[in-house]
Amino acid sequence: MTAINFPDVDYGARIDRARTEMARRGLDALLLSVGSDLPYLTGYEAMPLERLTMGVITPTDSTLVVPQLEAPRVVDRGCFDVIPWAETEDPVGIVQGLMGGATAAIGAQTWSLFLVRLQQAAPGVTFSDATDVMKSLRTIKDVEEIELLRRAGAAVDRVVGRLRSMRFSGQSEAALARQVMEMTVEEGHDVATFHIVASGPNAASPHHEPAGREIVDGDCVVVDFGGRFGGYCSDTTRTFHVGEPTAEYAEAFSALHAAQLAGTAAAGPGVVAEDIDRASRCVLAEAGWGEWFIHRLGHGIGLDGHEDPYLVEGNKEVLQPGMAFSIEPGIYVPDKWGMRIEDIVVCTEDGRESLNTSPRDLAIVE
Ligand code: ZN
Ligand code: ZN
């Protein structure tokens, strides 16, 4: 696990907002372990290990229970106590002692091992899933969060700029993916978290894992990548072509480009999430490519690469200023080719802001 430099923001205010949500829902304790909910409230990310790390928020106290050997990693934010536990101590007992009350919401990514032990240690407590509590806090980003997403977006855009002048043919997908990763870190990310390089027929698989295939003249190449910047995620996709594309590919790409713009233009405050998906999908359907757009239009993004809100048929959630999400239509023709364009977009008071502004055209490379 790479150390992430979480920003120095007012975590105390976030914990207070969590307490307001807890009161509204009649919760006596909020228990957060692995995942992004804990760093959102404390600036500390739990190691995903068999040693328990758990933030315990009650109406009066907030405490981070952490393995003693990891305690030196904790940055004092002035708004929670730290209880380091030694190898011979029982962390579940310590958490149970801090909880009190009869109802507790627990982070969705907490290992079931610890939930089961807590249930055994505190049989009178009713446990629920903390997802909704945390979603209500995390979905709408504040100005500091949006600035980190903006800087993350600018960093991956610089990588795209460098890619546009690179030679693709003769390289394996894996070799190009390694360079994408290195450039993602060079441009300011704490860590590169994923890198899809899908060439030729492999591009028909949206989540293709780059392998040994050598990129050759006439290939399309979908590059989808991102990392974490001050804890916040970047995620962008651009499509490249080695040499000039066929007429069919060029025609499909212009429909895709129009669909991406239509999705972005549809986003804004008060708009229903599924309507944005539909606005983009209609463009591809009318151009005859609808059946090959096989995934939702987008996902929310923040401390997690995929989080609420999801832009998908059936999601009636209404967009509000501060929500951040991807707009990423694609066309995937099995065994032939694929293409995708992806930007991160933030809903603003009067519309939207694209956090990725690198050219969206089909980049012709050597
Ligand atoms: Zn992506
Ligand atoms: Zn994405």
pLDDT tens figures, 313-362? 999 999 999 999 999 999 999 999 999 999 999 999 999 999 999 999 99
Nearest ligand to the C-alpha atom of residue 295: 2
Which pair of tokens denotes residue 276? Answer: 């944005």
CA distance 66 to 92: 11
Q: How do residues 201-227 score in pLDDT, each as one tens digit?
A: 999 999 999 989 999 999 999 999 999
Nearest ligand to the C-alpha atom of residue 325: 2
Which pair of tokens denotes residue 336? Answer: 């032939």
How much distance in Å is there from the Cα of 326 to the middle of ligand 2? 6
Nearest ligand to the C-alpha atom of residue 297: 2
CA distance 241 to 363: 6
Res. 5 pLDDT band, cuts 50 70 90: confident
Does the pLDDT of residue 4 top 90, yes or no?
A: no
Rounded to 5°, angle at Cα 229 from 330 and 11: 120
Superfamily of domain 11-138: Creatinase/prolidase N-terminal domain (3.40.350.10)
Give the residue extent of every domain in the chain.
11-138, 143-365
Residues with CB under 5 A from ligand 1 (ion): 224, 235, 237, 342
Nearest ligand to the C-alpha atom of residue 345: 2
Res. 158 pLDDT band, cuts 50 70 90: very high
CA distance 53 to 47: 7
Q: Look at strands 324-327 and 343-347 and give their pairing.
A: antiparallel
Task: Write out the E strands in the chain.
Answer: 29-32, 54-57, 62-67, 81-85, 103-106, 126-129, 191-199, 220-229, 232-233, 236-242, 298-300, 307-311, 324-327, 330-333, 337-340, 343-347, 352-354, 363-365
Nearest ligand to the C-alpha atom of residue 311: 2
Q: Does domain 143-365 have CATH number 3.90.230.10?
A: yes
Nearest ligand to the C-alpha atom of residue 237: 1
Nearest ligand to the C-alpha atom of residue 206: 1
Q: How do residues 13-33 score in pLDDT, each as one tens digit?
A: 999 999 999 999 999 999 999
How much distance in Å is there from the Cα of 296 to the middle of ligand 1? 12
Nearest ligand to the C-alpha atom of residue 324: 2
How much distance in Å is there from the Cα of 236 to the middle of ligand 1? 5
Res. 179 pLDDT band, cuts 50 70 90: very high
Does the pLDDT of residue 192 top 90, yes or no?
A: yes
Share of the chain above pLDDT 90, in %: 98
Q: What pLDDT does residue 3 have?
A: 77
3 state DSSP class of 57: strand
Rounded to 5°, angle at Cα 251 from 249 and 254: 110
How much distance in Å is there from the Cα of 195 to the middle of ligand 1? 9
Task: Write out the E strands in 116-234.
Answer: 126-129, 191-199, 220-229, 232-233
Q: What mean pLDDT, rounded, does the chain reach?
A: 97
Q: What pLDDT does residue 1 have?
A: 66
How much distance in Å is there from the Cα of 235 to the middle of ligand 1? 5
pLDDT (average), residues 138-166: 97
Burial of 92 by CB count in 10 Å (0-12 exposed, 13-18 middle, 19+ buried)?
buried
How much distance in Å is there from the Cα of 76 to the middle of ligand 1? 34
Share of the chain above pLDDT 70, in %: 100
**Could you tell me if 138 and 107 are in contact, meaning their C-beta atoms sit under 8 angstroms apart?**
no
Q: What pLDDT does residue 165 have?
A: 97
Q: What pLDDT does residue 123 have?
A: 95
Which pair of tokens denotes residue 97? Answer: 């002692």
pLDDT (average), residues 269-282: 98
Res. 168 pLDDT band, cuts 50 70 90: very high
Rounded to 5°, angle at Cα 198 from 193 and 203: 130
How much distance in Å is there from the Cα of 104 to the middle of ligand 2? 33
CA distance 137 to 219: 44
Does the pLDDT of residue 73 top 80, yes or no?
A: yes
pLDDT (average), residues 266-283: 98
CA distance 364 to 341: 15
Q: What pLDDT does residue 100 have?
A: 85
Nearest ligand to the C-alpha atom of residue 194: 1
CA distance 212 to 177: 11
How much distance in Å is there from the Cα of 51 to the middle of ligand 2? 32
CA distance 91 to 244: 61
How much distance in Å is there from the Cα of 49 to the middle of ligand 1? 28
How much distance in Å is there from the Cα of 267 to the middle of ligand 2? 16
Largest pairwise CA distance in the chain: 69
Overall pTM surpassing 0.85 (yes/no): yes
